[in-house]
């Protein structure tokens, strides 16, 4: 397991990494091991990474929704580095209601990503911090019938829904069409689970903090499986982020439908949410 503190004393300086990833350059360690897989941009769809910060017992918030902060400085710095290497960060409306996140890069150096909020019913207020007018592009993904004009400077993508649910793949295709090649699905649980369930994540970064909540909101909530044969088993590497552990899961075989035909037959079957 690699040991990575907040600011590694050895290895390549972080500052150049976001640009190197965009230009397809090789990274030095420890960054190549952590972020090198995100360099690829498939021709037919975006590179998509999900992240989740959770307790040892798999919780991302208390039952009341309190979640600040499960992860410590190392885990938060890793999340901000992920934001810096992607083109867009996506959250569900529930996270905006619960946390009112800024979704900016503040703990490390690097560019801010485009902010995308999935708000199918058009319930969120213009005053949410994700919509702050700070020069960064902002996009609301809405269901066609829930679509409303939020502000002139906020783009809207209106997509068809089935019972209020917009297909995650349709969301990714719409973002790809708008030039967004690397996408971070930051949460919350419902949003991340629906993208995982739909086979739309290339990688999943799970950062586990040394705490036990004992109750609370689960990080992933997928349809039940009948037996262990239905478990999603993934190639995985671990990294030490100070007191926290990053599990970097390779889900690329699940995104075969977004890939060129040569590896399209490798997709395992997991029921969709
Ligand atoms: N630890 C972490 O890494 C982390 C990260 C982010 C958030 N969180 C926590 O996660 C919790 C919020 O998670 P959550 O599961 O309640 O909410 P969420 O995933 O943030 O948002 C879910 C909502 O987003 C909309 N949505 C998302 N995907 C959609 C789709 N494909 N089609 C249609 N609508 C879609 C729906 O909005 P409507 O409800 O309007 O229908 C849905 O109910 C908070 O407690 C927050 O603190 C933790």
Which residue, by CA, sits nearest to atom 35 of ligand 1? 118
What token pair was written down for 153?
A: 């400077």
Cα separation of 74 and 243, whole Å? 8
CA of 213 to the centre of ligand 1 (A): 20
Averaged pLDDT, groups of 10, the chain, 273 residues long: 53 91 93 94 89 96 88 96 98 95 97 98 95 97 86 94 95 97 95 96 97 95 93 94 96 61 36 40
Residue 6: count other Cβ atoms within 10 Å of its Cβ: 15
Supply the pLDDT for residue 272.
41
What are the residue ranges spanned by the domains of the chain? Answer: 48-220+233-254
What token pair was written down for 63?
A: 């039952």
Question: Would you give the distance in Å from CA 249 to the centre of its chain?
Answer: 13
- Would the CB of 165 count as within 6 Å of ligand 1? yes
- Would the CB of 67 count as within 6 Å of ligand 1? yes
Which residue, by CA, sits nearest to atom 47 of ligand 1? 67
CA of 94 to the centre of ligand 1 (A): 4
Cα separation of 77 and 53, whole Å? 12
Place of tokens 């050895």: 10
Supply the pLDDT for residue 44.
82
**For ligand 1, what atom is nearest to the CA of residue 168?**
31
H helices, E strands: number in the chain: 6, 12
Supply the pLDDT for residue 189.
94
Supply the pLDDT for residue 270.
39
Cβ burial of 256 (10 Å; 0-12, 13-18, 19+) is middle
- Would the CB of 94 count as within 6 Å of ligand 1? yes
Supply the pLDDT for residue 267.
38
- Would the CB of 118 count as within 6 Å of ligand 1? yes
- Residue 111 φ/ψ region, left for φ over 0, alpha for ψ in the -120 to 50 degree band, beta for the rest: beta
- Would the CB of 194 count as within 6 Å of ligand 1? yes
Supply the pLDDT for residue 67.
86
Is this model's pTM higher than 0.85 or not?
yes
Supply the pLDDT for residue 252.
87
Strand partners, 4: 241
Supply the pLDDT for residue 248.
98
**For ligand 1, what atom is nearest to the CA of residue 207?**
3
| DSSP, res 261 | G
- Would the CB of 53 count as within 6 Å of ligand 1? yes
* CATH number for the domain whose boundaries are 48-220+233-254: 3.40.430.10
Pairing of strands 155-159, 88-92: unpaired
Supply the pLDDT for residue 249.
97
Supply the pLDDT for residue 59.
96
Cα separation of 232 and 234, whole Å? 6
């Amino acid at each position: 397991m690699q040991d990575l503190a907040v600011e590694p004393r050895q290895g390549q300086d972080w500052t150049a990494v976001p640009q190197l990833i965009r230009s397809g350059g090789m990274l030095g360690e420890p960054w190549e091991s952590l972020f090198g897989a995100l360099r690829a941009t498939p021709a037919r769809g975006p590179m998509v990474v999900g992240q989740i910060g959770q307790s040892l017992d798999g919780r991302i918030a208390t039952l009341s929704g309190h979640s600040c902060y499960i992860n410590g400085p190392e885990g938060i710095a890793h999340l901000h580095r992920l934001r810096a290497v992607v083109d867009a960060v996506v959250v569900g409306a529930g996270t905006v209601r619960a946390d009112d996140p800024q979704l900016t890069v503040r703990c490390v150096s690097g560019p801010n990503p485009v902010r995308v909020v999935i708000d199918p019913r058009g319930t969120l207020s213009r005053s949410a911090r994700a919509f702050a007018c700070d020069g960064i592009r902002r996009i609301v993904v809405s269901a066609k019938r829930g679509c409303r004009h939020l502000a002139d400077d906020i783009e809207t993508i209106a997509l068809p829904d089935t019972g209020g649910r917009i297909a995650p793949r349709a969301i990714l295709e719409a973002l790809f069409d708008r030039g967004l090649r690397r996408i971070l699905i930051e949460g919350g649980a419902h949003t991340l689970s629906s993208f995982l369930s739909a086979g739309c994540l290339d990688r999943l970064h799970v950062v586990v903090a040394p705490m036990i909540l004992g109750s609370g909101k689960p990080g992933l909530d997928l349809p039940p499986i009948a037996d262990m044969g239905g478990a999603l088993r993934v190639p995985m590497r671990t990294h030490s982020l100070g007191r926290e552990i990053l599990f970097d899961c390779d889900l690329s075989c699940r995104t075969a439908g977004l890939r060129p035909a040569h590896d399209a037959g490798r997709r395992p079957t997991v029921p969709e949410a």
